[in-house]
């Protein structure tokens, strides 16, 4: 997977992506990162890329031409069109299925805005997808781009050590992940659930699935409608919720 990031703060993206799992995946050549400083395409010696909004109003707007020139430089070098994501609170809210779909692409361009936004005309010319990471407003698109790249990266083959772990975690099957425990067996008088110490794999799998279902019902009941539960699982959940006084 090749990520191109158009930004005024390339060092922020590089620092973030060079850390931990994504950093290792880049060193291994499984991911590559190409940061493009929009300011390098300012077309003036001051590196000015913003101006006042027509019609008045607060703040500054990123001008069309530097963004367009930076985008053209990327696609001309690639020799083919590349899906281009603009990070904006006005976009479709990012979710795991979207990440899975984007992970199928060989290259992606992320366009990070700042100030009060980017001239609409260049957005119309280059953007294929408008994406938000949630209903709150950040100072720029860099953190959202990193959130998306991190989520997509772990779906790229070979990025996680354990091939199955990308599959089995939260949101697969619309269920949250079961609780995890590690040593010591007793920590401040709290014991690890005995089934996990039993070595009985079928029972452990069964317990984990039940915990995933119960946890989803308690913490994210909105997800449960999309999960596929057997009749037996539905009955058990009902009993457990009743026992917990939640039904
Ligand atoms: N830019 C500013 N806020 C944002 C958000 N919530 N999602 C994506 N891009 C943004």
pLDDT tens for residues 1-57?
999 999 999 999 999 999 999 999 999 999 999 999 999 999 999 999 999 999 999
H helix and E strand count, the chain: 10, 9
pLDDT tens for residues 41-74?
999 999 999 999 999 999 999 999 999 999 999 9
Average pLDDT of the residues of the chain: 95
C-beta 172 within 6 A of ligand 1:
no
Q: Which two tokens stand for residue 5?
A: 């990031």
Rounded Cα distance between 33 and 116, Å, is 26
Best substitution site from 13, 133, 135 to test ligand 1's pocket, by max atoms within 8 Å of Cβ? Answer: 133
C-beta 138 within 6 A of ligand 1:
yes
Q: What is the mean pLDDT of residues 134-145?
A: 97
Best substitution site from 12, 98, 113, 132 to test ligand 1's pocket, by max atoms within 8 Å of Cβ? Answer: 132
Q: Quick one: CA torsion of 65, 3, 18, 42, rounded to 10 degrees? A: -10
Q: What is the mean pLDDT of residues 88-112?
A: 97
Rounded Cα distance between 109 and 86, Å, is 9
Cα-only R_g, the chain: 23
* Ordered alpha helix ranges (H), 79-173: 96-102, 120-126, 142-153, 165-168
Residue 195 to residues 119, 173, 200, 246: CA-CA distances in angstroms?
59, 23, 8, 24
Q: In this structure, are residues 67 and 43 in contact, taking their beta carbons and an 8 Å threshold?
A: no
Residue 160 to residues 153, 157, 167, 212: CA-CA distances in angstroms?
9, 8, 11, 22
Q: In this structure, are residues 125 and 112 in contact, taking their beta carbons and an 8 Å threshold?
A: no
C-beta 211 within 6 A of ligand 1:
no
Determine the distance from the C-alpha atom of residue 138 to the mean position of all C-alpha atoms in its chain, rounded to a whole number.
15
pLDDT band per the 50, 70, 90 thresholds, residue 171: confident
pLDDT at 194 over 70: yes
Beta pairing, strands 107-111 & 2-7: parallel
pLDDT at 178 over 90: yes
Residue with tokens 């452990």: 204
CA of 48 from ligand 1 middle (Å) equals 23
């Amino acid at each position: 997977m090749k990520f191109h990031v158009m930004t005024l703060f390339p060092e922020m993206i590089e620092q973030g992506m060079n850390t931990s799992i994504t950093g290792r995946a880049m060193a291994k050549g499984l991911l590559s990162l190409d940061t493009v400083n929009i300011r390098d395409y300012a077309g003036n010696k001051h590196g000015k890329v913003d101006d006042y909004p027509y019609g008045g109003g607060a703040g500054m707007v990123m001008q069309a031409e530097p963004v367009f020139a930076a985008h053209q430089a990327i696609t001309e070098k690639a020799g083919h069109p590349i899906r281009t994501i603009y990070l904006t609170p006005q976009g479709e809210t990012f979710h795991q299925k979207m990440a899975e779909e984007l992970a199928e692409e060989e290259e992606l361009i992320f366009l990070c805005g700042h100030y009060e936004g980017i001239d609409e005309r260049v957005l119309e010319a280059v953007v294929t997808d408008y994406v938000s990471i949630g209903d709150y407003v950040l100072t720029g698109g860099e953190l959202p781009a990193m959130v998306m790249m991190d989520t997509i990266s772990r779906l790229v083959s070979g990025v996680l050590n354990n091939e199955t772990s990308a599959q089995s975690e939260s949101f697969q099957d619309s269920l949250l992940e079961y609780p995890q425990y590690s040593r010591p067996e007793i920590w401040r008088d709290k014991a690890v659930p005995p089934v996990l110490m039993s070595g009985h794999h079928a029972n452990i799998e069964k317990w984990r699935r039940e915990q995933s279902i119960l946890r989803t019902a308690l913490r994210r009941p909105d997800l449960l409608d999309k999960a596929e539960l057997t009749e037996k699982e539905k009955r058990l959940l009902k009993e457990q919720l009743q026992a917990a006084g939640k039904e």
